[in-house]
């Protein structure tokens, strides 16, 4: 039954001395999936990847690749290949020799090696570069050679350790699209380590968000962004407002009280919260709107929240404007409004306003 997964981690722990780098991580990565391990530096994502590759052995727990337990199997015996952050191209070999290395070690016949090297070079659009030394190539080209060197071996799983980290922004964006297209073309499972949330959201089928060696949430990009499971995920992915609240009721409806005493309804609450607990209401800046005080409905709907505040700061960022609003209890929230309304007067600093949002967008998270 494990065969359904390209890679499975079961309760994996990695300790370096006193430091727990990876803390009871379990993951199931499906065949053909573009799966990202996302988190800040030091969160354990690279260690997790290195354990799958075989460079590190788990302190406890088990790793399966297509149902086969890896145990203490060394990297050269595992059906995976790695694209390293610094590319790790062999500087004393030509590009073609670099790409041929894995096949040579597996004693693939010479003429087949030659053919597959040419194919791999064509695949990464570097045909004819085979005789150069890695040093003679640009960063982006070296990156593509590293990719070709790994993919030419037709691994069951390709591991990528922040492979675009060293490239400049423009090249990185182009490579993101190229990588994603390549992955769809070859149909190989990609496990991609990154600290760049935008990169992870753009490319991945699913993402595991990690921090301090723990997986906080696994899901597709939309659910990670729209339904963050806890405060860390909400904070790490995108921009979020956290408004301090106290839980008033959890069923039939989730109701929380702001510090001003005003009660608002929310769409979802993290497990483990109980009535009376302190918590935060998390809501994305683009999910809110600003109303003029006179626009306040006489009998407000239960599904909408209305909170009084004052505009204190405006930042124009092109497509939209970030409005900073201070609420009655002194907490600040950011509201992003699109700059597309015709005939509507822009907000000015110092204006009284009412911040409103649909209760379904508000998530109550532990502090």
Partner 1 sequence: MSAPMPPPTTLEHARWERFKSKLGGWSLTTYGILAFAFLYLPIVILVIFSFNDSRSVSKWSGFTWAWYGKMFQDGQIMLSIWNSLFLAIVSTIIATVLGTLAALGLERYRFRGKTAVDSMFYLPVIIPDIAMAIMLLIFFNMSGIGFTPWKVNFFGARLAVPYSVIIGHVAFNTSFVAIVVRARLAQMDRTLEEAASDLYANAWQTFRRVTLPMLMPGIIGGALLAFTLSLDDFVITFFTSGAGFNTLPVRVFGMIKKGVTPKINAVSTLMLVVSLSLVVVSILISMRSGSEDSVTIGM
Contacts to partner 1 by CB under 8 A: 53-55, 74-77, 80-82, 84, 86, 88-92, 101-102, 105-106, 135, 149-150, 153
Task: Output 152 or 359, the one with its CB closest to partner 1.
Answer: 152
What would the 3-class secondary structure string for the chain be?
A: CHHHEEEEEEEEEEEECCEEEEEEEEEEEECCCEEEEECCCCCCHHHHHHHHHCCCCCCEEEEEECCEECCCCCHHHCCEEEECCCCCCCCCCCHHHHHHHHHHHCCCCHHHHHHHHHHHHHHCCCCCCCCCCHHHCCHHHHHHHHHHHHHCCCCCEEEEECCCCCCCHHHHHHHHHHHHHHHHHHCCEEEEEECCHHHHHHHCCEEEEEECCEEEEEECHHHHHHCCCCHHHHHHCCCCEEEEEEEEECCCCEEEEECCCCEEEECEECCCCCCCCEEEEEECHHHEEEECHHHCCCCCCCCEEEEEEEEEEEEECCCEEEEEEEECCCCEEEEEEECCCCCCCCCCCCCEEEEEEEHHHCEEEEC
Task: Output 107 or 251, the one with its CB closest to partner 1.
Answer: 107
Min dist. Cβ of residue 120 to partner 1 (A): 13
Q: How many CB atoms lie within 10 A of CB 142?
A: 22
Min dist. Cβ of residue 89 to partner 1 (A): 8
Min dist. Cβ of residue 204 to partner 1 (A): 23
Min dist. Cβ of residue 284 to partner 1 (A): 39
Min dist. Cβ of residue 106 to partner 1 (A): 5
Task: Output 54 or 219, the one with its CB closest to partner 1.
Answer: 54
Min dist. Cβ of residue 64 to partner 1 (A): 19
Min dist. Cβ of residue 103 to partner 1 (A): 9
Task: Output 55 or 242, the one with its CB closest to partner 1.
Answer: 55
Min dist. Cβ of residue 102 to partner 1 (A): 4
What is the signed CA dihedral for 356, 360, 366, 367, rounded to 10 degrees?
A: -20
Distance CA 124, CA 243 (A): 48
Task: Output 145 or 255, the one with its CB closest to partner 1.
Answer: 145
Min dist. Cβ of residue 113 to partner 1 (A): 13
Sheet bearing 157-161, strands edge to edge: 80-83, 157-161, 189-194, 34-38, 206-211, 214-219
Min dist. Cβ of residue 105 to partner 1 (A): 4
Q: 190 φ, ψ to 5°?
A: -110, 130
Distance CA 138, CA 125 (A): 14
């Amino acid at each position: 039954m494990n065969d359904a997964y390209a890679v499975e981690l079961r309760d994996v722990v990695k300790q370096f001395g006193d430091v727990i780098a990876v803390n009871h991580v379990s993951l199931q990565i499906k065949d053909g999936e573009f799966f990202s391990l996302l988190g800040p530096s030091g969160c354990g994502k690279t260690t997790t990847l290195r354990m799958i590759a075989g460079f590190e052995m788990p302190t406890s727990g088990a790793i399966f690749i297509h149902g086969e337990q890896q145990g203490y199997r060394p990297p050269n015996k595992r059906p995976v290949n790695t694209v390293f952050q610094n590319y790790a191209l062999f500087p004393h070999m030509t590009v073609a020799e670099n790409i041929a290395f894995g096949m040579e070690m597996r004693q693939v016949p010479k003429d087949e090696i030659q053919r597959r090297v040419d194919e791999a070079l064509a695949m990464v659009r570097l045909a004819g570069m085979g005789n150069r030394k890695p040093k003679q190539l640009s960063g982006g080209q070296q990156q593509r050679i590293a990719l070709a060197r790994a993919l030419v071996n037709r691994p069951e799983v390709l591991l990528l350790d922040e492979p675009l980290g060293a490239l400049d922004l423009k090249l990185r964006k182009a490579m993101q699209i190229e990588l994603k297209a390549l992955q769809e073309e070859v149909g190989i499972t990609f496990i991609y380590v990154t600290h760049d949330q935008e990169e992870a959201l753009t490319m991945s089928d699913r993402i595991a968000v990690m921090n301090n060696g723990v997986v906080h949430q696994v899901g597709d990009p939309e659910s990670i962004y729209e339904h963050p499971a806890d405060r860390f995920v909400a904070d790490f992915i995108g921009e979020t407002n956290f408004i301090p609240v106290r839980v008033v009721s959890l069923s039939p409806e989730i109701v929380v009280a702001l510090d001003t005493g005003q009660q608002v309804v929310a769409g979802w609450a993290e497990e483990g919260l109980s009535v009376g607990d302190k918590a935060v209401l998390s809501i994305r800046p683009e999910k809110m709107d600003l109303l003029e005080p006179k626009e306040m409905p006489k009998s407000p709907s239960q599904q909408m929240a209305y909170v009084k505040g004052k505009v204190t700061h405006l930042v124009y960022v092109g497509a939209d404007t970030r409005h900073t609003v201070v609420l009655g209890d002194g907490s600040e929230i950011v509201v992003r409004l699109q700059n597309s309304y015709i005939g509507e007067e822009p907000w000015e600093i110092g204006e009284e306003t009412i911040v409103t949002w649909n209760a379904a967008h508000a998530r109550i998270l532990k502090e």
